[in-house]
Amino acid sequence: MGSVRTLNNKAATLFENTEMDRGPIHASRGGALTDDVADQSVLVFGPFCMSITERWLRKDTIQLNLSSRAFDILAVLISRAGSIVSARELFEIVWPEVVVEASNLRVHIVALRKALSDGVDGLRFVINVPGRGYMFVAPVKRASSMEDLPLTLQPQNRLPSIPRQLFGRAEAVEKLSELVLSRRFVSVVGHGGVGKTAVSIAAAGVLRPAFGEDGVCFLELSSTTDPTLALAAKLSIAPCPFNCINTQDAIVRFLKDKRLLLVFDNCEHVIDAIAPLAARIFDEAPSVHLLATSREALRANGENVEFLPLLEHTTPGPTSHNIAPAVQLFLERAAAAGGPPSMCDADAPAVLEICRRLDGLPIAIELVASRVATHGLLGIAELIEQDAVLTLQGQRSSLPRHQSLNALVDWSFNLLSADEQQLLMKLSTFAGSFTLEAVRSLYGQSDSEGARTAGALSGLVDKSLVQVSRSRTALYYKLLHVTRTYCAHRLERQRSGQAEPVMKTLGGGDIHEIQYDGTVTSVIASPHQSDWASPALQAS
């Protein structure tokens, strides 16, 4: 660090007596920076920025490794941009009180030019003036805010991989890509594991030609608590040394004249932060298009919500010509995991029943199908019957919250308010579909309790944990099998004061069933006897 201090002292001399104001530095003007400015400024030239006092040089945002001497030489030359600096002066400043060979200076100048790609694409930075010395010839300006920095978008041409074949989602992908192009801001909303990420990645792939190879930026948010910082980092804005400007302002300024598709994946846990950010980008960056995935709508200005339904699972089974997408997914995953490559007519009812019991939820189907080789079809059906399906382990390469259905629902459950958590556990006592009146009659009898219950129920619907169906006269609600099983276990644990998980068949507590005349009865039957896909209900 000796050379830093020496350079700073010497630089101070260089920087004194300068006529330079605080405006841009141009090579043609000659002169140098004041000591004060040199201490604080970030200097920008070509695609580079540099801090003399903090001793770094970056290209775009990548820090370059320059030797200490080469850095000192650059600092001296740049502080006298447009003027010739003799070799003698350079020796005095960079190697004070040391006698060095002339070749040393040449070696470091060569290294410096190499680091700056001097001469490539016609860009010149350091030239040799024969017999007189060296001169920094590129325009240099002093950056006073992030927008002065030579930021360029790093290539974002990699989208995460998705299954080669997305069953039953061709229309959804097409519709989504059209909406993103025409409306600019779309959120795909649905239950965890329903395929929001997969469908959005497929749509982003379709849209890539419209935005260019580097024009699609995919931001996975599940492991971040600060989406603004995560986006800044993705756009290579975060390493900027300025703290005088708010990061969100910097992002918006950076994006305002860019054409880009930004995909925000898994927004649910940072929804309060991502909603205003997305709304600002939508308002202030007119050529930026936004695609978000979330278990809950962002409720942000400009947003168009697209609900992603469960996979179709009611049409005929494995050997039919018109195989339901849920069944196709099951068969493909079962075969990929070493299960039977094709199934026969006799298997059809069991496969259909499994897909039905799992409500056509892709993550659940994928997970159980991968266990067919171990447990067989009947074994899988039994696991579902016993609710042991929650703890089946999926692929190790999946996101942690996709490795088991327990983890999947846990992630959503932990994002709920206390009221919503309590209500969701209680709702698991309904064996099938239920109405708000039924819930109120059991759990919210006073007016204030009733209002709280209605509020919590609507929160659960918003967060995709309670599904809504509509008959001609009423709204019906229901929980998916995995949600219900998870909540029933939690309720049982809460009631018995147990801390550790209990994985056993439901049925120990109350089970409520609603009749279609609106009355609620307590039943002791297995909850699975109830048919959630009652023909009395039409999917909303």
Ligand X SMILES: Nc1ncnc2c1ncn2[C@@H]1O[C@H](COP(=O)(O)OP(=O)(O)O)[C@@H](O)[C@H]1O
Among 10, 142, 196, 234, the residue binding ligand X under the rule CB under 6 A is 196
CB closer to ligand X out of 90 and 407: 407
Give the range of 48-56, 191-199, 385-393, 516-524 binding ligand X by CB under 6 A.
191-199
* Rounded Cα–Cα distance for residues 207 and 174 (Å): 10
Q: Minimum distance between the CB of residue 214 and ligand X, rounded to whole angstroms?
A: 24
Q: What are 95's two structure tokens? A: 């190697």
The interface with ligand X within residues 426-445 (CB under 6 A) comprises none
Q: Which residues would be at the binding site for Mg ion (CB under 5 A)? A: 197, 266
Q: Which of 198, 231, 290, 384 binds ligand X (CB under 6 A)?
A: 198
Q: Which option in Mg ion, ligand X, none does residue 296 bind, with CB closer than 5 to 8 A by kind?
A: none
Distances (CA, A) of 66 to 57, 101, 109, 472: 8, 20, 11, 74
Task: Give 149 or 203: the residue with its C-beta nearer to Mg ion.
Answer: 203
293 near ligand X, judged by CB under 6 A: yes
Burial (0-12, 13-18, 19+ Cβ within 10 Å), 313: buried
* CA–CA gap between residue 440 and residue 442 (Å, rounded): 5
Residue 302 CA to residue 373 CA, distance in Å, equals 47
- What binding mask, one character per residue, do residues 506-535 give for ligand X by CB under 6 A, x or -? ------------------------------
Query: Of residues 31, 133, 192, 318, which one binds ligand X by CB under 6 A?
Result: 192
* Contact of residue 195 among ligand X, Mg ion, none (CB under 5-8 Å per partner type): ligand X
* 294 near ligand X, rule: CB under 6 A: no
Q: How many angstroms separate the Cα of 383 from the Cα of each of 68, 166, 376, 502? A: 65, 26, 11, 15
Contacting ligand X (CB under 6 A), which of 216, 217, 329, 383? 329
Question: Using the rule CB under 6 A, which residue among 31, 82, 193, 227 binds ligand X?
Answer: 193
3-state secondary structure of 22: coil
Q: Which stretch binds ligand X (CB under 6 A): 316-324, 339-347, 358-366, 504-512?
A: 358-366
Stretch that binds ligand X, among 126-134, 192-200, 267-275, 504-512 (CB under 6 A): 192-200
Query: Do 291 and 200 form a contact (C-beta atoms < 8 A)?
Result: yes
Q: Does 177 bind ligand X (CB under 6 A)?
A: no
SS3 of 360-415: the string is CCHHHHHHHHCCHHHHHHHHHHHHHHCCHHHHCCCCCCCCHHHCCHHHHHHHHHCC
Residues 304-323 that bind ligand X (CB under 6 A): 311
Distance from C-alpha of 298 to C-alpha of 210, rounded to nearest angstrom: 25
Stretch of residues binding ligand X (CB under 6 A), selected from 23-31, 115-123, 151-159, 163-171: 163-171
Report the residue number whose CB is nearest to ligand X.
195
Binding to ligand X by residue 194, rule CB under 6 A? yes
**426 phi and psi angles, rounded to 5 deg:** -65, -35
Stretch touching ligand X by CB under 6 A, among 21-29, 56-64, 160-168, 176-184: 160-168
Under DSSP, the state recorded for 445 is: -
Q: How far apart are CA 155 and CA 291, in angstroms?
A: 19
Question: Is 167 near ligand X (CB under 6 A)?
Answer: yes
Specify the stretch interacting with ligand X by CB under 6 A; choose among 4-12, 60-68, 173-181, 194-202. Answer: 194-202
- Joined together, the tokens standing for residue 450 give 């009733």
3-state secondary structure of 339: coil
User: How many of the other CB atoms lie within 10 Å of CB of 495?
Assistant: 11
Tell me how far apart the alpha carbons of residues 222 and 215 are, in angstroms, rounded to a whole number: 22
Q: Which residues bind ligand X (CB under 6 A)?
A: 162-163, 166-169, 190, 192-198, 293, 311, 329, 362-363, 366
